[in-house]
Amino acid sequence: MNFLEQRIAKEGIVKPGNVLKVDSFLNHQMDIKLFDEIGAEFARRFEGTNINKILTIEASGIGIAAITALHFPGAKVVFAKKTKSINLDGEMFTAEVESFTHKNVNHVIVSKKFINADDHILLIDDFLANGCAMMGLIQIANQAGASIEGIGIVIEKGFQQGGQIIRNLGYKLESLAIIDAMDANTGGITFRKQ
Amino acid sequence: MNFLEQRIAKEGIVKPGNVLKVDSFLNHQMDIKLFDEIGAEFARRFEGTNINKILTIEASGIGIAAITALHFPGAKVVFAKKTKSINLDGEMFTAEVESFTHKNVNHVIVSKKFINADDHILLIDDFLANGCAMMGLIQIANQAGASIEGIGIVIEKGFQQGGQIIRNLGYKLESLAIIDAMDANTGGITFRKQ
């Protein structure tokens, strides 16, 4: 197991309905030293790319993207905002995103000022499950004409379809931990060998 | 002018209704090098305290708190979540927060697992205006019996009441830039001398 899988195995709590709680280090309390290891690992996996911008989505992606940026010198970080309503004034790239967890539709927006066709983007998020949020970010990067150099995910739920869909689209998707199965009764977590 | 005031003067855009847009470096695109200077300045202003936890609120506070934590070795970071509904299962500290900007009421929640009476907390946020969000964080820290060692704000709107209320409560509030007046017609921004 890598450093992240070890931490998930130690502190992650499996709840019924394929819910994994990692709020002690990832998405409520944040272990910044771990985030720094995550950032270093993303830098290793995307070595040789010319990434100049990291795009993520509020809220849990922000801390990871900010610390990861320390490992991509010169890269700017932009976080997409979630909103119920679209402002159609033309100043924003927008994508519609259906939340698997909350069963509702949100819009993801990024100001046109902050992404453009010259950008080489790394997309970052804490979780990948059905992939809807990430496909919203992909849409936005494509609307801007930017190049998507890679997609970095901390925890992928490999038993949901998002990872497969995004890899089938040809994107370089790197998930630092991929969970193939979880058992709420035993608390067991099965990681995919990488 | 300090480094932050210079950046605000250069890139901040004053909009009608006392709105200051700093989305090119603070709360949409994030300039991580600037955040590192902000973190270093918070460390300087709160030198000699025994801060072991940084508490902020989603979304814009998260990146600032994460990078600031690099300057408080060993400190953990927790971000409070905003939610419409309260889950009254007793596992959460909750506070009611009225948003000046959005004219609605939200609840701020933090899991009881992540703050306790042994904590010496630095509260961090990007903006302080009427102070409602920060007073929510203060309530939560107090519910936990934690010690509030200080409050660090990036930009305080000094013409709104939040800063005065919180200083009158006796908290050590440090705002890296305090704006006393803004003019949407001229774009002029008047900083308070510190």
What confidence tens digit (pLDDT) does each residue in A93-137 have?
999 887 666 677 889 999 999 999 999 999 999 999 999 999 999
Q: Which of B188, B193, B151 is nearest to B168 (CA)?
A: B151
What confidence tier does B101 reach under pLDDT thresholds 50, 70, 90?
low
**Inter-chain CB proximity B63 and A63 less than 8 Å:** yes
Q: Give the C-alpha distances (Å, rounded to integers) separating B50 from A4, A25, A182, B37.
A: 29, 21, 40, 21
Q: Which residues of A touch B23 (CB under 8 A)?
A: 111, 113-114
pLDDT of B165 > 70? The answer is yes
Contact A77 B32 (CB under 8 A): yes
Q: pLDDT tens for residues A128-168?
A: 999 999 999 999 999 999 999 999 999 999 999 999 999 99
Q: What does the pLDDT read at residue A89?
A: 64
Looking at residue A97, what is its pLDDT?
Answer: 83
Q: Which residues contact A106 (CB under 8 A, 6 or more apart)?
A: A82, A83, A84, A96, A97, A98, A99
- The CATH architecture to which A3-191 belongs is 3-Layer(aba) Sandwich (3.40)
Is A28 close to B66, i.e. CB distance below 8 A?
no
Gap between the Cα atoms of B121 and B128, Å rounded: 18
Model confidence at B100, pLDDT cuts 50, 70, 90, reads: low
Domain ranges of chain B: 3-191
Q: What is the mean pLDDT of residues A45-53?
A: 98
pLDDT at residue A102, as a whole number:
67
Spatial separation of the C-alpha atoms in residues A142 and A108, rounded to whole Å: 14
Mean pLDDT of chain A: 94
pLDDT of B105 reads 84
* CA–CA distance, A113 with A144 (Å, rounded to integer): 10
pLDDT, position B104 = 79
How many angstroms separate the Cα of B56 from the Cα of each of B77, B103, B136, B175?
A: 8, 21, 10, 15
Interface ipTM > 0.90:
yes
pLDDT digits (tens, 9 = 90+) for B42-92: 999 999 999 999 999 999 999 999 999 999 999 999 999 998 776 666 799
pLDDT at A115: 98
Average pLDDT over residues A185-194: 96
Q: Cα(B95)–Cα(B41) distance, rounded to whole angstroms?
A: 29
Q: Which residue's entry shows tokens 């709590």?
A: A13
Distance CA A106, CA A84 (A): 5
A81 min Cα distance to partner chain B (Å): 8
Nearest CA in chain A to B31: A76
Question: Could you report the per-residue pLDDT of B30-42, keeping only the tens digit for each?
Answer: 999 999 999 999 9
How far apart CA A24 and CA B88 sit, in angstroms, is 20
pLDDT at res. A100: 61
Q: If you average pLDDT over residues A29-42, what whole number do you get? A: 98
Question: How many other C-beta atoms can be found within 10 angstroms of the C-beta atom of residue B174?
Answer: 17
Chain B CA closest to residue A36? B70
Token pair, residue A145, equals 């004409």
What burial class does residue B98 get, using C-beta atoms within 10 Å of its C-beta: 0-12 exposed, 13-18 middle, 19+ buried?
A: middle
Number of A to B CB contacts under 8 A, please give it.
Answer: 92
Residue indicated by tokens 């990872």: A163
Confidence of residue B98 (pLDDT cuts 50, 70, 90): confident
Q: How many helices (H) and strands (E) does chain A have?
A: 5, 11
pLDDT at A124: 98
Q: What percent of chain A has pLDDT over 90?
A: 90
